[in-house]
Structure 1
Amino acid sequence: MRGIPEAVCKLLRLENLALDNNSIELLKPDCFANLTQLRSLTMNNNRLTEIPNHIFDSNKLLQLVNFNVNNINSIGLYVFSNASILKNLESISNRIEYLPGRAYLINVTILDVSNNLISRLDPLALTLLQEASEIRLHNNHITSTVNDILANNSNLKSLTVTGSAMRGIPEAVCKLLRLENLALDNNSIELLKPDCFANLTQLRSLTMNNNRLTEIPNHIFDSNKLLQLVNFNENNINSIGLYVFSNASILKNLESISFR
């Protein structure tokens, strides 16, 4: 299909709409205006290039939207202005370059914009997502300071910021006291700060593959008693301290492949 059929736009009681793996290029605002009961929309693997402003103004019950694997280069500032209970937003593997601030996404719990071309984020884009438990930003070109964009995400449990050329772990990450899963692969991180991990007492998994680490200092994980998985593959590590994991008594998986 190259477009959403008119008959679909007349299904006034429609709650779930899946139009994945088609050739749809355009979203018609007047179509979604009729679908006031819509709760989930997936349009993965199509040919969309943009999500126009106000397209979901009538869809106040919308909770899940997936636009993965399209050619989207922009998402309008007011796309989700009326979708106040939206929980899950995914726009993976597109061509998005900029993520603007959107105060009306405050109830989103999962945001995934990985595998795009994002180099800049408005500081409000993430700081107002105070209900977010999972944010995935991997494989972008982010140059904005992560300290700014994560300042208020106290509920975050899972964070992925890989392939973004970071040289150190941002202070804002160290303040995510509920964080359980942290992935910082494919960056340029050289140093681990013990005082950072001392705060992350809920941490269960840590992956820092393909960075520039040279050592894992003693006692760095003394406060991380729930740690079960640690991956330090493809670094420049020449030593792992004798007491690095002395308190990580339930650690199940430790990988440090291709180190020096």
Structure 2
Amino acid sequence: MTHEPSGLKIIDRFSISLVRCEKRPTSPFGCKVGLRSVIIHSVLLCSSFKKSRKYSDVGKLNKINFDSLKRPDYVRTLTIRCRHLSRKESNPAAGVFRDFRNLDRLEIDRCHLKSLPSALFSGLQNLYSLVVKNAKLSVIPLDLFAYTPNMMTLDLAGNELRIEPYALRSLRNLIHLDLSNNSIDFVTNTLISLTKLKVLTMDNNRLTNIDFRRLPKTLTDLSLRNNFITTIHYVSGSVRNLRRIDLSGNRLDFIAGSGSINMLPPSLRQIDLSNNQIAFIEDKSLAELKMLAVLNLKDNQLTELKVESLSGPENRLRLLLGRNPFKCHCGIRWLIHSTEKTYPVVLDLSELNCSSLLNDNQKLSLTVADQRNLLICQYDILCPTSCICCDKPVCSCRSSCPPKCRCYRSANMESAQKTRNVVMCEKMRFDGSEEIPDTITELQINSVQLEQWDIKKLQKLRALETIRISNTSITDDQANSLYSSRVLMELQLSSTNITKVPSNIGNLSQLILIDNPLTQLTNGDISVSEIFPQSLKLEKNQL
């Protein structure tokens, strides 16, 4: 009958199990050691570890601590962690791990390593995983990895490296490399020699650009989060196996549809571009990315997004677009109304907001703006779908935007919801309403020279409900003609030269007088403000 020692769990005679001994010796690095062993039917290992309990003078023990282990060749995983915020420098001797000839994984964390001897890892031919992180290393000896030819994963995160170590060239079997949280600002050709590398992580460095030609073609996963990257260089054939890339938290401001700058590799299936400064995505930017499944564009500077920019993937693309400063433009209406199954689907549609093209301070949920028909677009010529003469020289149902003005209309002019047709004119001569579309609902005039004012012409515009006049010379008589209009519902006069509040505001539901030379209120003015308290707003005048 086999007796089971303390700390050892044997499942059956041929099982492989992990063992953590209750007592841990100290190491040549000046800190305690966590020892885990993969064993096959052994009952002696834990007893040998218990004998290490007597070595408790942390910081002064050397290689003899490891020599005290009866069977170090049984150890498969060795973890060394120094105290948090420790300033004590560790100077391990060459070959300190040589008796751990079957060691699979070695982790050294938080130990301040002033320098490393080139033969530190001698004897560890079977080591496949090495972690040396938060060690303040700035230089790696050229031959450091010459003794670990079978290493497959290497973690050098949290050091002070300024360039990829040249010593990496000897790791021909390396699959996973982590260089995060260093000070690397440039990628050289060192990594090209790693012909089996599949996963590369370089988060939180100082990279400003990335050239895919300097990366191995075998790479499948690349993470470059939180750098300073403004430019990526792609040439056909480079990183042809890349499937996933994370460029979040960088400074990219556009994605290109052609050329070699800011082009995305066609082999990609998942792309994270969140938290950049992307304001523009060119048409056909994804044309060659046939296998792309997920694209994250959250927290960028997109104000609009054309569906043509995202065409290319063979399967329906899944998009993340939250926290972009979208404008309430009809060009983004497709995000809600996908007319084709090939259109991308927005996973975070409920998080999308937009600001009015006519008023930046007005922000709405995109879905609400669409429901209220508040998505608008600029136009030069406006023809309803029922108009049959739009392509003819003379057409009564066609509306044209006046010269030097900007015109906007609702995305859905046939909607049962209220539609908008806004004309904005500034810094020009304005002599009436001859060229204003009959379907106009709002007229905005800014810094305009009024040659003449014929209220009868404005009254013929039956859909006109709102007029906003600013930075324009307008007399009290001209203003009175507007107050008496039967069609207007809202009138705003800002920075004009009117001096009086009207005694009668007609059918207006709102009259806004801002920054005008109104010096005093008469009894009649006060009466108007008392009768229509919700309709009259006086702000920044000279009262």
Q: Which TM-score bucket, shorter chain as reference? A: 0.7 to 0.9
Cα-Cα RMSD: 2.7
Who wins on radius of gyration, i.e. which is larger?
Answer: 2
The answer to whether the 8 A contact 1:82-1:104 is kept is no
* TM-score where L is the length of structure 2: 0.43
Match runs of 1:177-188 below 5 Å: 177-188=240-251
- Report the equivalent of 1:138: 203
Distance in 1 (alpha carbons) for counterparts of 2:225 and 2:200:
12
Aligned to 1:218: 283
Q: TM-score, normalised by structure 1?
A: 0.84
Q: 1:239 to 1:143 in 2, by over 3 A?
A: closer
Whether the 8 Å CA contact 1:56–1:83 is kept in 2: the answer is yes
1:123 alignment partner, one of 189, 197, 202: 189
CA distance 1:173–1:146, shift in 2 (3 Å):
farther
Q: Note closer, same or farther for the CA distance 1:236–1:253 as it changes in structure 2 (3 Å cut).
A: closer
Structure 2 partner of 1:57:
122
Query: What is the CA–CA distance in structure 2 between the aligned matches of 1:225 and 1:170, rounded to whole Å?
Result: 20
Q: Match for residue 317 of structure 2?
A: 251
One-letter code of the match for 1:7?
A: N
Q: 1:209 maps to which residue? A: 274
Q: Deviation digits for residues 68-111 of structure 1, max 9, x if unmatched?
A: 23322322221101211110000112222232323201211111
* Structure 1 unaligned regions, length at least 5: none
Offset of 1:61 from its aligned partner? 1.1
Cα separation, 2, equivalents of 1:82 and 1:121:
25
* CA distance 1:12–1:242, shift in 2 (3 Å): closer
> Matched residues in 2 for 1:218 and 1:183: separation?
22
- Structure 2: give runs of 5+ residues left out of the alignment: 1-25, 34-60, 327-543
User: Which residue type is aligned with residue 184 of structure 1?
Assistant: L
Change (3 A) 1:40 1:84: same
Contact persistence 2:128–2:150 (CA under 8 A): yes
Distance 1:148 1:243, change over 3 A: closer
The residue that corresponds to 2:399 in the other structure is none
Q: How many percent identity over aligned positions?
A: 18
Cα deviations by residue, 1:110-132 (Å, 9 ceiling, x for unpaired): 110111112345422x1111111
Instruction: Give the one of 141, 147, 161 matched to 1:96.
Output: 161
Q: Which residue among 108, 114, 117 is the counterpart of 2:180?
A: 114
1:72 and 2:137 matched: yes
Change (3 A) 1:218 1:138: same
Q: Which is worse superposed, 81-90 or 40-49?
A: 40-49
For each residue in 1:158-217, what CA deviation from the matched residue of structure 2 results, as whole angstroms up to 9, or x when unmatched?
A: 1122333232222259721111111122332223122444x523x221111232321223
Establish whether residue 20 from structure 1 lines up as the match of residue 78 from structure 2. no
Contact 1:100 1:121 in 2 (8 A): no
1:110–1:135 contact (8 Å) kept in structure 2: yes
Question: When the two structures are aligned, how many residues end up with a matched partner?
Answer: 255
Out of 199, 203, 225, the position equivalent to 1:162 is 225
Counterpart AA for 1:82: Y
In structure 2, the residue matched to 1:8 is 66
Cα 1:256–1:144, aligned 2, differ >3 Å: closer, same or farther? Answer: closer
User: Hey, what does 1:190 align to over in structure 2?
Assistant: 253
CA contact (8 A) 1:42 1:66 kept: yes
With over 3 angstroms needed to count, the CA separation of the structure-2 counterparts of 1:171 and 1:252, relative to structure 1, is: closer
Q: Which residue of 1 aligns with 2:533?
A: none
Change beyond 3 A, Cα 1:66–1:250? farther
Q: 1:211 to 1:219 in 2, by over 3 A?
A: same
* Counterpart in the other structure of 2:101: 36
After superposition, the Cα gap between the structure-2 partners of 1:144 and 1:189, relative to the gap in structure 1 and judged at 3 Å, is closer
Shift in Å, 1:256: 4.1
Whole-Å separation in 2 of the counterparts to 1:154 and 1:138: 20
Cα distance in structure 2, aligned partners of 1:135 and 1:118 = 14
- Check conservation: 1:19, 1:44, Cα contact below 8 A: yes
